Amino acid sequence: MNIALIGYGKMGHAIEALAAERGHSVTVRIDRDAPWPETIEADVAIEFTTPKTATANLLRCLEKGVPVVCGTTGWYGDYDKVVGECKARVGRLFTATNFSIGMNIMFELNRRLAELMKGRAEYSVGISETHHIHKLDAPSGTAITLQEQIVESGERRAESVPIESIREGEVPGTHTVVYDSEIDTITLTHEAHSRKGLALGALLAAEFLVSAQPGVYTMRDLFSEGVKGS
């Protein structure tokens, strides 16, 4: 599989290193110092840039007919616009607020716990997320997803599920959901040890997308195919 990397920072380098281990090649690198070529000689693009540039990057991939996996967060205000363009061009788009297999398992646990907490008014709930100082969006897209799942699966409103965002050092990403009551506390935590888990998930998504039918996909589609993260 030939890959176009859009964004060649720490995540781009992590994806490139793991891609080689999986027998793939990075044939295009697009970054601030490497502008867009006229054509993209790649089977799929993987986009990890910034909230300000993601939408334009995704639209350009769709315009060029290149399936694209997007790992950038903070651009979802333009989600409907990008999805509309994908459908209009009969393209392929894969989005996720977090590509880690472990984090997506936590998403499923979070949904189930929210369901079990229906009617349990004695518990308050909150979310905390900690990332490196270079992360531009706060709260993280992952934390927002956790909040949305709690609202959708349970009986709570968004304003009753506060998110605390912490930026320090080079922390890859830690997300915690806490249900607290007078008599006990229930905690769900996912702590990334490196960017490798995100890189692996992005590559699994790319491998899925190159053979998928036109459409918009998420990690739940990947899980439905029985992907185990290896």
Contact 68, 44 (CB under 8 A): yes
The 3-state DSSP class for residue 182 equals coil
135 catalytic residue (yes or no):
yes
What is the torsional sign of CA 112, 113, 114, 120?
positive
Catalytic-role residue among 135, 175, 190, 196? 135
Burial grade of 35 (CB within 10 A; 0-12, 13-18, 19 or more)? exposed
Q: Peptide bond preceding 139: is omega within 30 degrees of 0, i.e. cis?
A: yes
24 catalytic residue (yes or no):
no
The 3-state DSSP class for residue 213 equals coil
Contacts of 182 (CB under 8 A, 6+ apart): 122
The DSSP element (H or E) to which 101 belongs, if any, is: helix 101-116
Catalytic-role residue among 64, 131, 175, 190? 131
Active site residues: 131, 135
